[in-house]
Structure 1
């Protein structure tokens, strides 16, 4: 079964894409598309060079010289499927849970993800956990895919 991004993440990708779509025609020329891919990958923690983004862009070349939002979503979804696996998220959780308590605190979430998550998102995730976040709650919060 192919994974689909949840609506919130699709909106975020659309906003990012539109920042580069100066002509408002839902397509970008290769060079600009590569810059958008570069920025998007870096924003999800996958640090790549612009040259690497250009190579990724070229893999999706259909001969028109333009790239649609749908291609953008396809590329990013493919990468996010690799990043947001349970084992990978568990590794990240364990890095944050330095004392091996089996949970992380709201403050640890703020320190690590304060620039990516709103206070409401963090509070919602820990609401039932008495100020702590178990792995399951962490995974649910960070998972960009529809259930």
Structure 2
């Protein structure tokens, strides 16, 4: 099954893309596209180097040196698929589970994501459980950006 982003995710990525454009622009020059890729990958908790972003930009350049929103979505979806593997997410989960309890609580999420998650988002994450203990399977389901 192909990976597909939700409408909410597409809207967020569209906002991010247009943050980097000038008024009435529909495409980004390579340098801005490279910066955008770095910024979004960092936002997705998978930072990449400027050099890696430049390589990605070169690989997806059709010769015009300009990149539209559709090309951006293609690149970011590939990076998201690489990021949200079971192995990567398990490592991330274990890093958050500093006491090795085998689960995360709302307090753990507040501590880890103080500046990146609202209280509503934290409560939504915990709602994936019946006992308020977010086990890895629930964490993966919550964090996975793709529709099932």
TM-score using structure 2 length: 0.88
Which runs of no fewer than 5 residues in structure 2 stay unpaired? Answer: none
Aligned to 2:45: 45
Aligned to 2:75: 75
May I ask how many residue pairs the two structures share in their alignment? 147
Alignment partner of 1:108 is 2:108: yes
Aligned to 1:146: 147
The Cα shift of 1:83 comes to 0.9
Q: Secondary structure at the match of 2:147?
A: coil
The Cα shift of 1:51 comes to 3.0
Aligned to 2:89: 89
The Cα shift of 1:110 comes to 1.2
User: Deviations along 1:65-115, whole A, 9 cap, x unmatched?
Assistant: 210111111111111101101222122112222333221111111111232
Aligned to 1:136: 137
The Cα shift of 1:17 comes to 0.4
TM-score using structure 1 length: 0.89
Q: How does 1:58-69 map to 2 (within 5 A)?
A: 58-69=58-69
Tell me how far apart the structure 2 counterparts of residues 143 and 76 of structure 1 sit (CA, whole Å): 14
Tell me how far apart the structure 1 counterparts of residues 48 and 97 of structure 2 sit (CA, whole Å): 27
Tell me how far apart the structure 2 counterparts of residues 116 and 142 of structure 1 sit (CA, whole Å): 13
Structure with the larger strand share: 1
Which runs of no fewer than 5 residues in structure 1 stay unpaired? Answer: none
Tell me how far apart the structure 1 counterparts of residues 32 and 109 of structure 2 sit (CA, whole Å): 34
Aligned to 2:17: 17
Tell me how far apart the structure 2 counterparts of residues 31 and 141 of structure 1 sit (CA, whole Å): 33
Q: Secondary structure at the match of 1:104?
A: coil
Tell me how far apart the structure 2 counterparts of residues 145 and 117 of structure 1 sit (CA, whole Å): 19
Aligned to 2:27: 27
Any conservation in 2 of the 1:18–1:24 contact (CA below 8 Å)?
no
